[in-house]
C-alpha cells in the first residue's frame, strides 16, 4: 500500500504561536515514541511576522497508520486544546505526493 503524505498548515492567532509550538512539540514526542507507522512528523515555522504559520510535514506508512494517529487519545486532546484555548485563526490539511526534486544530499 502507498505511503500517505500530508502537509498541515496552522495559522495561530496573534500572540498564540508559542503555545501552538509547545503543544506540537509535545505531540511530536508522543508520535515518535508511540506511532511506528508514522514515518515522518516534522515541524516547521515561518520566520517572519508576529503570527507565523506553522507547518507539520507528515508521512504515514499506510491508511491504518494515519487512522491510528487521528484516533489516538493524545491527538484528540491536542485538537480539543487548540479549540478550547482558541489558538488558531486558520487550519488546513493537504494530502500530497511528490513529483520531483530531492529531500537531502546526505
**What are the tens digits of pLDDT across the range 45-72?**
999 877 799 999 999 999 999 999 999 9
List the grid coordinates of 73.
487519545
Stretches where the chain sits below pLDDT 50 are none
Euclidean distance between CA atoms 42 and 39, whole angstroms: 10
Is residue 56 within 8 Å of residue 87, measured between CB atoms? no
pTM for this prediction: 0.92
CATH class held by domain 4-96 = alpha beta
List the grid coordinates of 69.
494517529
The secondary structure of residue 19, as a DSSP letter, is H
Amino acid at each position: 500500500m502507498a505511503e500517505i503524505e500530508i502537509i498541515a498548515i496552522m495559522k495561530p492567532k496573534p500572540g498564540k504561536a508559542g503555545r501552538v509550538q509547545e503543544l506540537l512539540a509535545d505531540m511530536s514526542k508522543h508520535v515518535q515514541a508511540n506511532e511506528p507507522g508514522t514515518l515522518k512528523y516534522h515541524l516547521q515555522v515561518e520566520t517572519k511576522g508576529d503570527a507565523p504559520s506553522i507547518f507539520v510535514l507528515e508521512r504515514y506508512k499506510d491508511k491504518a497508520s494515519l487512522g491510528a494517529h487521528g484516533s489516538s487519545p493524545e491527538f484528540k486532546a491536542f485538537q480539543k486544546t487548540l479549540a478550547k484555548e482558541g489558538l488558531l485563526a486558520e487550519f488546513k490539511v493537504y494530502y500530497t505526493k511528490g513529483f520531483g526534486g530531492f529531500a537531502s544530499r546526505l
